[in-house]
Amino acid sequence: MTAVTNTVSTAGAVAFTVPPFAAGARDAALRVLDSGWVTTGPECAAFEAELSAYLGQPHVVTVASCTQAIELSLRALRLDPGAPVLTPSLTFSGAVAAIVHAGYRPVLVDIDETTLTPNPRTVAAAVRRAGRPAAMVSCDLGGYPVDHAALAEAAGLPYRRMVVDAAHGPGGDVGRTRAATAPYATCLSFYATKNLPIGEGGAVLTHDGDVAGALRAARLHGMTRDAWRRYLPGGSWRYDVEEVGFKANLTDLSAAIGRAQLDALPGWQARRAELVARYDAALRGAVRAGVVTLPSRHPGHAFHLYQVRIPRRDAVSDGLTEHGVGTSVHFIPVHHLRGYARLFDADELCTRACPTRPWTASSSGSPTCSRPLSRRPRRLTC
């Protein structure tokens, strides 16, 4: 068998992101490989318990991705087919895909230019335009902790109809904000670029034990008992499928790595805060001159991304690329993506529903440029 080499070279460059791995991650992976049990089992259960303790959430259910976490959470609401669900236009397309795959109708909401997330005013405008929603998928873009309760109130929704897309967390100070405390469902991502990187994976945080139980069944075909529990001493091969489910479970291999990563998360977050302070200091003059605009900050910010708004985004990004500095844009507004534009009246959205100037109405998308806040120190001259 030929070995496959897939090493990211960062010599002399500042890569967009290189996921860090804690000192114990390799040993954790080997522990699972040596155990003979690599799919959902005791490591997933332990990871869920440790996430619960770290985030102060009573129930955690791991799944295969944040997108699936959002979809399963929406399905568990049991809304009417085609029910309208609010969500930001400036978000990753996967959140909107989750609404569509759950059988509901996405209704896009404009954003506040200072936070890059919806506010009560833009939510209320969407409700006036499209009518009262059945639920909302809210997003903590870049790690900014949105006041989800205020958005629910503006939408005329009970708080338990809020599904929080917290893919750009965890890591924020949840004690100083209501982010990641929605009573129904908060969805996390463990994708390779995220604050708690595993490679792939996600989780749902909830205060509702019945919802947690439904999600555990739904993530694994709707089975009443997973394979691990069936083969424990005294277990039985018998199970039932009370409702058709999905293949959306996390593996023990991923969970074991996640447990090691979770131990390192506080240190990584401290490093992110240091980099934010360094970037802020370097850009202070450009901000005063009006050349660069920074989004609003919050004491509970998870600092997944360092985002700047600049007039000549593409030229600046190209120049940074020439100097070996990786950047990206978060995100292309959803109604500018061809596969999603067919779901909406794109002209109406650009002029009325999502008119935030000058960029959600611009064919080039947002002038926002993002740098991930790498945990690995590299010299960057600004």
CATH number at residue 351: 3.90.1150.10
From residue 22, give the alpha-carbon distance in Å to each of 26, 136, 274: 8, 35, 19
Q: What is residue 352's DSSP assignment?
A: I
What pLDDT, on a 0 to 100 scale, did the predictor assign at position 9?
A: 53
Instruction: Identify whether residues 122 and 207 lie together within a single domain.
Output: yes
Instruction: Identify whether residues 243 and 319 lie together within a single domain.
Output: no
Angle formed at CA 19 by CA 180 and CA 264, multiple of 5 degrees: 60
Instruction: Identify whether residues 246 and 303 lie together within a single domain.
Output: no
Instruction: Identify whether residues 225 and 256 lie together within a single domain.
Output: yes
What pLDDT, on a 0 to 100 scale, did the predictor assign at position 27?
A: 98
In a domain, 257, yes or no: yes
Please state the separation of Cα 96 from the chain's center in Å. Answer: 12
Nearest to 40 by CA among 211, 189, 258: 258
In a domain, 91, yes or no: yes
Domain range enclosing 352: 266-372
In a domain, 379, yes or no: no
The amino acid at 112: D
Q: Which residues of 328-361 are buried (b: 16+ CB within 10 A; e: fewer)?
A: ebbbbbbbbbeebeebbebeebbeebbebeebbb
Instruction: Identify whether residues 175 and 204 lie together within a single domain.
Output: yes
CATH number at residue 210: 3.40.640.10
Instruction: Identify whether residues 177 and 212 lie together within a single domain.
Output: yes
In a domain, 4, yes or no: no
In a domain, 338, yes or no: yes
Instruction: Identify whether residues 270 and 368 lie together within a single domain.
Output: yes
Instruction: Identify whether residues 291 and 331 lie together within a single domain.
Output: yes
Instruction: Identify whether residues 255 and 325 lie together within a single domain.
Output: no
Instruction: Identify whether residues 215 and 196 lie together within a single domain.
Output: yes
Instruction: Identify whether residues 211 and 272 lie together within a single domain.
Output: no
In a domain, 154, yes or no: yes
pLDDT one digit per residue (tens) for the chain, 382 residues: 666 555 555 555 788 888 999 999 999 999 999 999 999 999 999 999 999 999 989 999 999 999 999 999 999 999 999 999 999 999 999 999 999 999 999 999 999 999 999 999 999 999 999 999 999 999 999 999 899 999 999 999 999 999 999 999 887 665 554 445 567 999 999 999 999 999 999 999 999 999 999 999 999 999 998 877 777 788 888 999 999 999 999 999 999 999 999 999 999 999 999 999 999 999 999 999 999 999 998 888 999 999 999 999 999 999 999 999 999 999 999 988 999 988 876 555 555 556 544 344 343 445 677 766 755 534 333 2
**What is the Cα Rg of the chain in Å?**
21
pTM of the model: 0.90
In the chain, the number of structural domains is: 2
What pLDDT, on a 0 to 100 scale, did the predictor assign at position 370?
A: 76
In a domain, 135, yes or no: yes
Instruction: Identify whether residues 290 and 255 lie together within a single domain.
Output: no
What pLDDT, on a 0 to 100 scale, did the predictor assign at position 377?
A: 39
Residues 6 or more apart whose CB falls under 8 angstroms from that of 34 comprise none
Beta carbons of 179 and 173 less than 8 angstroms apart: no
Angle formed at CA 139 by CA 128 and CA 59, multiple of 5 degrees: 115
